[in-house]
Chain A
């Protein structure tokens, strides 16, 4: 009995190196192939298409009406949406983790809705609620604020679409955070706000930054909801993704690719910068 078990174990040990190596090799190969086929190749194709003719293609694209304004609008509204959601997303995550109340599960599920709703529907929905013909739209209109078909509409749509990111990055960190430190701070007489700032904030800051960055990157590309809410006025409410769409419609796929490259270059640079900042901060936090 014992010797039989021993042989089985021996056999396994003897076989392991080749099998494991093969398994690792297959696993790694499959994962990398998938990533390359799905992301690296298409992105490379876009870049090479956009810059096959050097910078001229890009210059031609940017010479058309409202080009720079479209890119600026997209950058600004995406950044503002990221910040808004950094603030409110953190609040939501904190409430969801630290408080126990009826309907908490439902609230948590609602947070994910923007991922599940087609963004086109988000656009239609926003116009149905905040459009100039609706009671809310009229109320804002009477004080001179136009919610829909304006730059504000773009911001609102992006806030909705990117809402889950910060909540979902901050929530797991908060869950793991030991409440003892918070309690200690409060016992020592710190106010709730002071406790949050001095104890909770440093721990969740990298998560907020990461979530906000994802929200920003997601905002750069938003198209579906924008079509219905912005009015797409050149130089005013036309966004970069809509501009890219127009370029493809004018049979200028290379120019569209050049502008698209600019957008994800910005996005990619920010990812790199933030991941570095977050890493240094983590080190400092540990030290």
Chain B
């Protein structure tokens, strides 16, 4: 019973060391220096908590350090500390509503920002910022196997029988809704073998595509990973995803349907949190910075994202390998997200019905 080197004791020692290590190492203040409402004294080293969706992690890594040096130069060497968090766009929005005190959000679609607005945490009208609050864009593409062996051109090709389609689940991935909106809009615009304005035709195109779905992944990135693993013939995804995969050395190829929605990614400050942390000035400067040419160059070259101006986005970018898009349109063409949510995703919505018919 006298066991001097017992497992339990070893564990206890390890634990004490661990506690000491954390106590010394981390958690050196959380940068919150709230002093009631209204006036507050900004910290000497402001701390910004930045929550973004997963994909543009590398872009923001670059943009943040560029902003930090710029701010340092213009503010007597003041250092801005960033706490960065990357995750699924909708998960980030939910976490913030649940009390994750992010000062700035950069999400993949407007409804996720509106979710935070509805919770009363973003109180300003973020759409009045430059570029309607959007910082980057992309287009919907078909990610196909090397050389496009099945010769896909447009959505009607992937609705044909015997095709295996990957697309994220619209129920779990907010971003998945871009794909559905794009298929619907392309059909309504008279593409993909559907007559212009033929809503029933659009619905049956959606049914055809979703009949072929072999995996509803939880995010767009998961769809590509799944596709990479050999699943399916085509993944419906975004241009920047495919180009990022190609950059990483994967053999993916993008096929551009002639008609696509302009995928627009918003960024905004979270009013309640910036005021609580007394960082409004620096947070607003950061969001302003996201709209500068300097930041746009990072979105373009690091993130493979298109510009926010729709005409410029449609024109393409030869240097970056972005081809022109014949018919590029914004969600506003269909009355914006609220109208589209009602039209497509409500209980009697076109997608809801198409999905029920497909399964």
Do the beta carbons of B85 and A233 come within 8 Å of each other? yes
Question: Judging by beta carbons under 8 Å apart, are A79 and B14 in contact?
Answer: yes
**B22–A76 contact, CB under 8 A?**
yes
Interface residues of B in 92-151 (CB under 8 A from A): 94-95, 98-102
Contacting residues, chain A, for B11 (C-beta < 8 A): 79, 82-83, 86, 209, 212-213
A248 contacts across to B, CB distance below 8 A: 225
In the complex, chain A residues whose CB is within 8 Å of the CB of B245:
251
Return the chain B residue nearest A277 by Cβ: B7
Partner of A233, one of B19, B84, B244, B249: B84
CA distance A187 to B252 in the complex (A): 77
- Contacts of B184-208 to chain A: CB distance below 8 A: none
239-254 of chain A: CB within 8 A of chain B = 246, 248-252
Contact residues in B for A221 (Cβ distance below 8 Å): none
Assess whether B87 is in contact with A232, with CB atoms less than 8 Å apart. yes
CB-CB under 8 A from B244, the residues of chain A are 251
Binds A, one of B35-43, B53-61, B173-181, B262-270: B53-61
- List of 9 A-B pairs having minimum Cβ-Cβ separation, nearest first: A209-B7, A132-B99, A251-B248, A202-B1, A277-B7, A149-B100, A76-B18, A233-B83, A83-B15
Task: Report the separation of the CA atoms of residues A227 and B91 in the bound assembly, to the nearest whole angstrom.
Answer: 8
A234–B85 CB distance below 8 A: yes
Q: Is B348 an interface residue (CB 8 A)?
A: no
A228 to chain B: closest residue by CB: B95
Q: Which of B23-31, B306-314, B350-358 contacts A (4 or more CB under 8 A)?
A: B23-31
A116-155, CB under 8 A of B: which get 1 and which 0?
0000000000010001110001000000001011110000
* A104 to B325 CA separation, bound complex (whole angstroms): 68
B6 within 8 A of A: yes
B84 with A209: CB separation less than 8 A: no
Q: Is there a chain A Cβ closer than 8 Å to B260's Cβ? A: no
CA distance A72 to B83 in the complex (A): 17
Q: Which residues of A contact B (CB under 8 A)?
A: 65, 69, 72-73, 75-76, 79-80, 82-83, 86, 127, 131-133, 137, 146, 148-151, 198, 202, 205-206, 208-210, 212-213, 227-228, 231-238, 246, 248-252, 273-274, 277-278, 280-281, 284-285
In angstroms, Cα B87 to Cα A237, docked, is: 13
Q: Which of B27, B85, B100, B248 is in CB contact (< 8 Å) with A151?
A: B27
A149 to B95, Cβ gap below 8 A? yes
Contact of B7 among A137, A150, A213, A232 (CB under 8 A): A213
Taking residues whose C-beta sits less than 8 angstroms from the other chain, chain B's interface range is 35 or more
Q: Name the distance in Å between B19's Cβ and chain A's nearest Cβ.
A: 7
Question: Which of A208, A210, A246 contacts B57, CB < 8 Å?
Answer: A246
Q: Which residues, 285 to 312 on B, are CB-close (under 8 Å) to A?
A: none
Enumerate chain B residues within 8 angstroms of A227, measured Cβ to Cβ. Answer: 87, 91
Q: In the complex the two chains form, is B58's CB within 8 Å of A250's CB?
A: yes
Q: Are B84 and A65 in contact (CB under 8 A)?
A: yes
Report which B residues bind A (CB closer than 8 A).
1-3, 5-8, 10-12, 14-15, 18-19, 21-22, 25-27, 30, 49, 51, 54-55, 57-58, 61, 83-87, 91, 94-95, 98-102, 221, 225, 228, 244-245, 248-250
Instruction: Give the docked Cα–Cα distance between A48 and B283 (Å).
Output: 44
Q: List 12 A-B contacts (CB under 8 A).
A: A65-B61, A72-B22, A76-B21, A83-B12, A148-B98, A150-B30, A198-B1, A205-B6, A212-B8, A231-B95, A249-B225, A281-B3
CB nearest to B247 among chain A residues: A251
Tell me, in angstroms, the Cα distance from A213 to B8 when the chains sit together: 10
Considering the complex, give the chain B residue whose CB is closest to the CB of A232: B85
Q: Which residues of A contact B5 (CB under 8 A)?
A: 277, 280
List chain B residues, Cβ under 8 A from A237.
Answer: 85
Contact of B101 (CB < 8 Å), options: A80, A127, A132, A273: A132
- Chain B residue contacts of A79, Cβ below 8 A: 11, 14-15, 18
User: Is there contact, CB below 8 Å, between B8 and A284?
Assistant: no
Asked if A285 and B1 sit within 8 Å, CB to CB, the answer is yes
Supposing A233-B84, A248-B225 touch, asked if A285 and B22 sit within 8 A by C-beta, the answer is no
Looking at the assembled complex, report how far the CB atom of B191 sits from the nearest CB atom of chain A, in whole angstroms.
Answer: 31
Apart from A137-B99, A208-B8, list 8 A-B contacts with CB within 8 A.
Answer: A76-B19, A79-B11, A86-B11, A233-B85, A237-B85, A248-B225, A252-B248, A280-B5
